């Protein structure tokens, strides 16, 4: 790769990726990064030009599940055939980190939200609707991804409750993740975000719809790069203003990925990620009499004892048990996952054949 090409790729975060993964590339490989995806095609950039792209037949044959398809943030190799107006992606380079959740309507297949992230901002609004609801789920998928989670409490200008109380409530569930409270309206608190956003690093914004992800992105970009919508426009189901995942390179050299609000955060995580989210529960569970204690009704259960003594919050333990069950269920259903993936694969190949023989 020419040095000038490399410099352009570095704008997209290539340097960090190269250091982490040391990809072994052919000399003339054309490298790009996926900046957005739509149902049938992708947008990618090599730092110099933007391309509309699709995956090559060769890559299609090798994809088994949704996870094998390119996702926003992926580094890919591509060609630009003269006969076609779209670039062809023929390889997805190994991922440094992968943020995943279970696909909507729970057909159990994992879906990649974004790849090659350094940091993930989990954005929650502390306005009058503030609830810490699915925060532990979000934290779990970030821990599993390998990226660093930061809890961003947005809309601090609309906070009704006591600042300290809100902060403490989040501190109790954030399991050591950094917490930043800010307002993208007044700019208050935004400065302390920058230490989690090194130039050249990639950060993804996730959280419920309406939390203020795109507004924060615009604030950091210094211009309206993403569309936002007034909360009053939200219906009861929550209106999803951002409809696709998209990567933005800011003038400051920071790379941010905006995503649509997530309602269901189906877990695709292992026990380790769960343990990272609930270190307090795990530490106490060490003292249960039985190693395989379910913390529900066993004699000598240290977790139940800690609830009684007030050391652990009963609601938090209940959430832990629920997530643990979900993780175990998924692990048991692995073969089902594969069957669904195989079926899809066959269907996809069939379709591609029909298309090419037309």
Q: How far is the CB of 76 from ligand GTP (least distance, A)?
A: 26
- Please, what is the minimum distance in Å from the beta carbon of residue 295 to Zn ion? 4
By a kind-dependent CB cut-off of 5 to 8 A, residue 157 interacts, out of ligand GTP, Mg ion, Zn ion, none, with ligand GTP
In the complex, minimum distance from the CB of residue 259 to ligand GTP, in angstroms, rounded to a whole number: 7
Residue by residue, what is the 3-state secondary structure of 286-326?
CCCCCCCCCCCCCCCCHHHHHHHHCCCCHHHHHHHHHHHHH
Check binding of 218 to Mg ion (CB under 5 A): no
Burial of 212 from C-beta contacts in 10 A (0-12 / 13-18 / 19+): buried
**Residues 220, 222, 226, 232, CA torsion sign:** positive
The residue with tokens 């779990």 is: 140
HEC string for 19-51: HHHCCCCCCCCCEEEEEEECCCCEEEECCCCEE
Q: Which of 56, 116, 183, 242 binds Mg ion (CB under 5 A)?
A: 242
Residue span binding ligand GTP (CB under 6 A) among the ranges 101-109, 150-158, 318-326, 332-340: 150-158
Binding mask 261-290 for Zn ion (x = CB under 5 A): ---------------------------x--
Least distance in angstroms from the C-beta of 53 to ligand GTP: 25
Q: Using an 8 Å Cβ cutoff, are 72 and 27 in contact?
A: no
Pick between residue 202 and residue 304 the one whose CB is nearest to Mg ion: 202
Residue 288 interacts with, from Zn ion, Mg ion, ligand GTP, none (CB under 5-8 Å by kind): Zn ion
Binding test (CB under 5 A) with Zn ion, winner from 203, 216, 301, 323: 301
Q: Is 64 helix (H, G, I), strand (E, B) or coil?
A: coil
Whether residue 209 contacts residue 258, with contact meaning beta carbons closer than 8 Å, is answered with no
For the record, the structure tokens of 298 come out as: 């066993």
Q: Which is nearer to Zn ion, 290 or 353 (CB)?
A: 290
Check residue 261 for interaction with ligand GTP (CB under 6 A).
yes
Contact yes or no for 64/342 (Cβ under 8 A): yes
Q: Which two tokens stand for residue 22?
A: 């040391």
Please count the residues of this chain forming the interface with Mg ion, following the rule CB under 5 A.
4
158 binds, among Zn ion, Mg ion, ligand GTP, none (CB under 5 to 8 A by kind): ligand GTP
| DSSP secondary structure, 204-254, as one string | EEE-STTSSHHHHHHHHHTS--S----GGG--TT------S-EEEE-TTS-
Query: How distant is the alpha carbon of residue 34 from its chain centre?
Result: 15
- 100 is a contact residue toward Zn ion (CB under 5 A): no
- Selected from 245, 295, 319, 324, the binder of Zn ion by CB under 5 A is 295
Measure the CA–CA gap between 280 and 292, rounded to whole angstroms: 18
Q: Which is nearer to ligand GTP, 214 or 276 (CB)?
A: 214
Q: How far is the CB of 175 from Zn ion (least distance, A)?
A: 19
Binding site for ligand GTP (CB under 6 A): 154-155, 157-158, 183-185, 209-215, 228-231, 240-242, 260-261
Binding site for Mg ion (CB under 5 A): 213-214, 241-242
Binding site for Zn ion (CB under 5 A): 288, 293, 295, 301, 303
């Amino acid at each position: 790769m020419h040095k000038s090409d490399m410099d352009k790729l570095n704008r997209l975060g290539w340097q960090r990726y190269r250091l982490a993964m040391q990809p072994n590339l052919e000399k003339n490989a054309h490298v790009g990064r996926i900046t957005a995806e739509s149902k049938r095609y992708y947008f990618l950039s090599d730092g110099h030009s933007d391309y509309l792209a699709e995956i090559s037949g060769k890559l299609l044959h090798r994809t088994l599940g949704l996870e094998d398809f390119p996702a926003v943030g992926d580094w890919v190799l591509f060609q630009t055939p003269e006969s076609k107006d779209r670039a062809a992606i023929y390889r997805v380079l190994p991922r440094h980190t992968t943020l995943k959740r279970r696909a909507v309507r729970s057909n159990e297949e994992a879906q990649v939200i974004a790849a090659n992230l350094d940091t993930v901002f989990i954005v929650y609004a502390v306005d009058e609707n503030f609830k810490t609801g699915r925060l532990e789920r979000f934290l779990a998928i970030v821990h599993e991804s390998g990226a660093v989670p930061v809890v961003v409490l947005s809309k601090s200008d609309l906070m009704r409750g006591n600042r300290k109380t809100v902060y403490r409530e989040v501190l109790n569930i954030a399991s050591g993740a950094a917490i930043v409270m800010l307002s993208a309206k007044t700019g208050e608190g935004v400065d302390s975000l920058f230490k989690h956003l090194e130039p050249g690093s990639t950060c993804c914004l996730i959280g419920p719809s309406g939390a203020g992800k795109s507004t924060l992105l615009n604030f950091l970009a210094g211009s309206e790069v993403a569309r936002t919508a007034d909360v009053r426009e939200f219906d009861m189901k929550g209106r999803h203003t951002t409809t696709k995942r998209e990567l933005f390179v800011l003038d400051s050299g920071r790379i941010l990925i905006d995503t649509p609000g997530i309602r269901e955060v189906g877990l695709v995580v292992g026990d380790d990620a769960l343990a990272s989210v609930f270190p307090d529960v795990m530490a106490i569970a060490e003292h249960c009499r039985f190693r395989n204690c379910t913390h529900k009704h066993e004699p000598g259960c240290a977790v139940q004892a800690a609830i009684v003594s007030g050391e652990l919050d009963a609601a938090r333990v209940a959430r832990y048990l629920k997530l643990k069950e979900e993780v175990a269920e998924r692990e048991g259903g692995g073969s089902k996952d594969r069957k669904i993936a195989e079926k899809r694969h066959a269907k996809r190949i069939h379709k591609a054949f029909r298309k090419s023989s037309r």
